[in-house]
Amino acid sequence: MSTSAAPVPEGPSGVGEGAPSALARVLGVLRAIPVVWYLTIILWVWIAAINPLFAEPSGFLAYLKQAAPLAILAAGAFFVLASGEFDLSVGSLVTVCVVIAAAVSDGDPSKTVPVIALLFVIGLIVGLINGVVTTIFRVPSFITTLAMLLILDGAVWLYTSGSPKGALADNFREIGRMGIDVPVIEQLPYSVIILVAIGAFSVWLMRGHFGRQVLAVGDNDRAAALSGINVTRVRITAFVLSALSAVIAGILLGGFAGVTAQVGQGLEFEAITAAVLGGTVLGGGRGSVVNAMAGALALTALFSWLNLQGVSGALEDAVEGVIIIAAVAVASYRLREGS
Amino acid sequence: MTTSTPPVAQHPGPTAESGGERSAAARFWRSLTRTTTGQVYLALIAILVVCWVVVAIKGSNLLSIDSIADMLIRSVALGIVAAGQTLVIIGMSLDLSVAWVISLTSIVAAVVMDGSNANIAPGILVVLALGMAIGLVNGLVITKLRVNPFIATLGVALIIQGFIESRWDGVVEGVPGGFEDSLGYSEIGPLPIAVLLLVAVYALVWFLLRYTRFGHQLYAVGGSEEVSKLSGVRTHRILIMAHVICSLCAAVTGLYLAARLGAGSPLVGTDGGYDLESIAAVVLGGTYLLGGRGSVLGTLAGVFILAILDSTFNALEVNAFAKDVVRGVIIIVAVAAYSFRWKERRVRKIGAGPAPAVTGNAPQTQTPGANA
């Protein structure tokens, strides 16, 4: 519900042009809506048909709560992808955040605020390193962030030898699990509030100078540099945003899923998949951050749908693979037709 | 040594040593120090020496016959996948499905061979055909459906993963002893047969890239798909071909690992990390991740560097996870060094005036086809 208003800024709203027939106009509007929204809505309706609880506010909010970490990661991944780069390190950064938070605070509620500050500092440093190595040392970001993944994963295992120490304080965990009590919908989870806030912040960023610069850099960095954009700074900022989104996702997931050395595993691919499902073009220059976040909603809905269909855990991967390829193929077909 | 620069070497550049015709030794030295592949081999030698010294201080010998054989064997599986990965990366594509292809083919080998030596030949044929089929799917999805290679091969990897995990959850017996003995452990003279297989694969891919139309066109497609299409290259066909060979290489690795383990295993590919590791080896070997330049011999050096580091860490009993950290750092430093060089050269060329600018492709000396 919070995100269903999103496609409006994307395309023509269908009012105004008088000449074409009503049918053509409706078709035109429908074609302007990105594939990901069709996929998401079909899955929502289908899930609600099987499980009516999903259509109720509490059920739907529970789903949004579950989708929030991935959607936040997808927003972060969007900035990096749109600027023409990759960030494969976010999954391991999520793990690092959870493991460090548990080890440092060790269940002490009074340490929660400093711990969260520490996590943001770590995220900032990781993002800066990714950005600086990629732009100033000119290492392809695929390699930079892959090495960062190796380094962070290695550090986590070195530090924990597989079983993390310590525990998360209760007030730390509440961020991911609890919410504000609101009359009609029972409880509004903090994670949904954070999700909406980050969505709004990202849209604000994309509509300002920075957003235009990101797309320009991703489209053609040489042209962008020649027209006076500081390409290095834009890309480094994108990496920092991506790393900070991983920190936020880590804080939410720590409360939601608990402390393990595997919390973040595979999240980097899921985040990229979500963004691409939402129409972000790998290589940069095109896409919308709201649609990238919608990609995460679609992906999470897809997982619940597969569960409801009784698809076994293993075949789930196969179905996911087929659907992702199909969605991207359709999107790139429409992109070609449109241009 | 393999990637000398015939056309470029002629022009009267700022090279100080160009007194008359150069001796073979000087040319060899030049190609060693001036080409990316040459420098990768210099780096390989430097790393080997450093590691040898470090291990010697610890009291063991990195260059004993056993240890060298061990490093070579270690290199076979990764080496063969990385050779195929080099092709797709030169074509500005990527294959993230190789790890699951390796697992799948090792299982299929075990199932088809079914414990009987008589089934070895059909087993090999089925596995190779399967590898080619997967490569064909990858290539078709990327070219015809225009799905980004990253997503396409990730999707195919998920599909194979789902298929494997819904069917097999443990080691699959059935690799006959004859196959295990021959490919896995037999030797011809001092050399394990697997090492000969590795050499054969690299010789073949090197030949493909350097002497065939396919190879030259692949460099062109990787350099710029648009331009090569406009100059009449059937870009789709070339990319599909590269993907078929890449998956074929993964299938060969699957066969080798099945022979080595004496069984098929659902996790043999992902446990080895062959997807990301092979890309790391390719990039460590000096191939440009964005396509259009690179050499398969550089990849071989990259694979050896990773194997030497592995053996050294083992000899020093370094914690398994500290390895990953060191590896990550080395990969970044190496790639930063290459791209710094490329940038520097380009600047020098632009700054040097019109004459050298004619041969503006000099940094990509490995691309005989792209000089046109």
Q: Quick one: which of A248, A240, A294, A275 has its CA closest to A8?
A: A294
Quick one: average pLDDT of B302-325?
84
CB-CB under 8 Å, A328 with B148: yes
Q: Tell me whether strands A179-182 and B191-192 are parallel, antiparallel or unpaired.
A: unpaired
- Residue-wise pLDDT for B98-157, tens only, equals 999 999 999 999 999 888 888 889 999 999 999 999 999 999 999 999 888 888 998 999
pLDDT of B364? 39
Q: Which of residues 165-184 of B touch A (CB under 8 A)?
A: 165-166
> CA B101 to CA A246: how far, in whole Å?
31
Q: Is the separation of the CB atoms in B287 and B298 below 8 Å?
A: yes
Q: Is the separation of the CB atoms in A32 and A10 below 8 Å?
A: yes
| Six token digits for residue B179 | 């196959």
- Work out the pLDDT band at B371, boundaries 50, 70, 90: very low
- Residue-wise pLDDT for B53-84, tens only, equals 988 888 888 888 778 888 888 899 999 999 99
Query: Could you tell me which chain A residue has the CA closest to the CA of B97?
Result: A321
Q: Is the separation of the CB atoms in A238 and A131 below 8 Å?
A: yes
Nearest CB among B156, B166, B329 relative to A314 is that of: B166
Measured distance between the N- and C-terminal CA atoms of chain B, rounded to whole angstroms: 22
CB-CB under 8 Å, B155 with A140: no
How close is the nearest chain B Cα to the Cα of A337, in Å? 13
Please state, as a whole number, how many other Cβ atoms lie within 10 Å of the Cβ of residue A39: 23
Indicate if the pLDDT at residue B4 is higher than 70: no
Amino acid at site A66: Q
| Sign of the Cα pseudo-torsion (B221, B77, B100, B164, in order) | positive
Query: Could you tell me which chain A residue has the CA closest to the CA of B164?
Result: A314
| Six token digits for residue B214 | 């396919």
- Max CA pair span of chain B: 69
* Residue spans per domain, chain A: 35-338
- Work out the pLDDT band at B219, boundaries 50, 70, 90: very high
- C-alpha neighbours within 13 Å on the C-beta side of residue B245: 27
pLDDT in tens, chain A (339 residues): 344 444 444 444 444 445 668 888 888 888 778 888 888 999 999 999 888 888 888 888 888 888 999 999 999 999 999 998 989 999 999 999 988 888 888 777 778 888 899 999 999 999 999 999 999 888 888 888 988 988 888 888 878 776 777 777 777 777 777 777 766 666 788 888 899 999 999 999 999 999 999 999 998 888 999 999 999 999 999 999 999 999 999 998 888 777 777 788 888 888 988 898 888 887 778 888 999 999 999 999 988 888 888 776 677 778 878 877 887 788 777 767 665
Q: What is the CATH number of domain B35-371?
A: 1.10.3470
B365 or B107: which leads in pLDDT: B107
Query: Could you tell me which chain B residue has the CA closest to the CA of A162?
Result: B321
> CA A41 to CA B171: how far, in whole Å?
41
The model carries a pTM of: 0.80
Give one DSSP letter per residue of B253-282, joined into a string: HHHHHHHHHTSB-TTHHHHTTHHHHHHHHH
Architecture of domain A35-338: Orthogonal Bundle (1.10)
pLDDT of B293? 87
Q: Quick one: which of A90, A75, A44, A3 has its CA closest to A280?
A: A75
CB-CB under 8 Å, B165 with A153: no
Report yes or no: B147 at the A interface, CB cutoff 8 Å.
yes
Share of chain B above pLDDT 70, in %: 85
Report yes or no: A312 at the B interface, CB cutoff 8 Å.
yes
* Residue spans per domain, chain B: 35-371
Residues 6+ apart with CB under 8 A from A149: A88, A89, A91, A92, A268, B328
